[in-house]
Amino acid sequence: MRSDATGPLETRSLWRFLAGDLRPLWTRLLEGAVASPTDTADDRLVYGVIDELRERTSAFLTRRYPGLPINEEGVSQWPPRQDCCVVDLVDGTNSLLLGAPLFGLQFASIVGGRVEEAVIFLPTEERLGGGGLHVSGRGHGAFVILRGETATRLRVSPVWELARASIAVDGTTPTVGRLYHPPLVAGVTRIRNFGAFCWAGTRLARGNHLPVSVDAVLAIDNKPWDHLPAIGLVEEAGGQVTCFDGTPWSLERCTELLFSNGHLHAPLLAHLEGAGLVWREDA
């Protein structure tokens, strides 16, 4: 790896752990959900692997972020009372159980209410040729690590016209339909739902590096653990993240967010307001 590729970000041991040490667990997850050697997949295998993944990941993160307690989705309380490392062990579990291997492990170190380092690892993308590891450091940029050796700096797309934009939506089933605002649907090139926020967030951060970009992500009624790693990645890739009313996100307000390449932020905020999705405390 080029010594200056990621500045102070240490990625070699990170890649070795996620792509190497955990590789047998990714195989077992995929076998349990997608490629079962039996007639039916085994959800018990999936959840058993998640338990082992929790133990091994916790030990690794304790070494990587000494002094930062782990705050895990489904286990810990929110908001945290102190600096911490937020962890989503398997973002996209339901997609995985449906046989769609669009899932990932993601975490972020939170210091002073801000994302210091963010990591999103996509096992399927790593197996398809490398590039599953995405990492950012506050003030140092966002990168994809190719086969553990080459760090490529990420940039969001340069698309500035809504009519040329591809956007993603993500959220819980009862609420995500509200994001399909008819004028917005008619005004963009396409709308996608990846079923896992880790994939949507990385597609936005990699917008300038893919044949077809994702230029914004509208996310509603998610959990903080879903969003925080992507916040770090997208902001360091040159994008913008705010609440639906355009105000800055915070640990207390990070469940309904607009992620964009920056150029499209203002018109998308207008669409969110037109869809009745803007709540103002002083209203």
CA distance 257 to 246: 9
- Total number of residues shown for the chain: 283
What pTM did the predictor assign? 0.94
The pLDDT score that the predictor gives to residue 2 is 39
Place of tokens 């009372």: 81
Amino acid at 212: V
Q: 58-86: per-residue pLDDT in tens?
A: 999 999 999 999 999 999 999 999 999 99
- Amino acid identity, residue 113? G
Residues 6+ apart with CB under 8 A from 70: 58, 61, 62, 76, 84, 85, 87
**Predicted local distance difference test score (pLDDT) of residue 38:** 62
Question: Residues 233-270: pLDDT tens digits?
Answer: 999 999 999 999 999 999 999 999 999 999 999 999 99
What phi, psi does 81 have (nearest 5°)?
-90, -5
pLDDT of residue 3: 36
CA distance linking residue 229 with residue 225, whole number of Å: 7
Range 239-269 burial, b when 16+ CB lie within 10 A, else e:
bbbbbbbbeebeeebbbbbbbbbbbbbebbb
For residue 118, give the 3-state DSSP assignment. Answer: strand
Q: Over the chain (283 residues), what is each successive 10-residue block's mean pLDDT? A: 59 95 92 67 78 97 97 96 97 88 96 98 93 96 92 97 98 94 96 96 97 97 98 98 98 97 98 89 43
Instruction: List the one residue out of 33, 42, 83 whose CA is nearest residue 196.
Output: 33
Q: What SS3 class is residue 75? A: coil
Distance CA 25, CA 57 (A): 11
First-to-last C-alpha distance (Å) of the chain: 52
Half-sphere exposure of 135 (CA within 13 A, CB side): 24
Q: Residue 177 carries which DSSP code?
A: G
Task: Give the pLDDT of residue 257.
Answer: 98
User: 156 and 264 in contact (C-beta within 8 Å)?
Assistant: no
Taken in order of first residue, the domains within the chain and their CATH numbers are 12-153 (3.30.540.10), 162-274 (3.40.190.80)
Contacting residues for 158 by C-beta, under 8 A, at least 6 apart: 208, 261, 263
The pLDDT value given to residue 159: 98
Distance CA 193, CA 180 (A): 11
182: left (phi over 0), alpha (psi -120 to 50) or beta: alpha
Give yes or no for a contact between 152 and 146, defined as CB atoms under 8 angstroms apart.
yes
Cβ neighbourhood burial of 3 (10 Å; 0-12, 13-18, 19+) = exposed
Distance (Å, whole) CA 177 – CA 171? 9
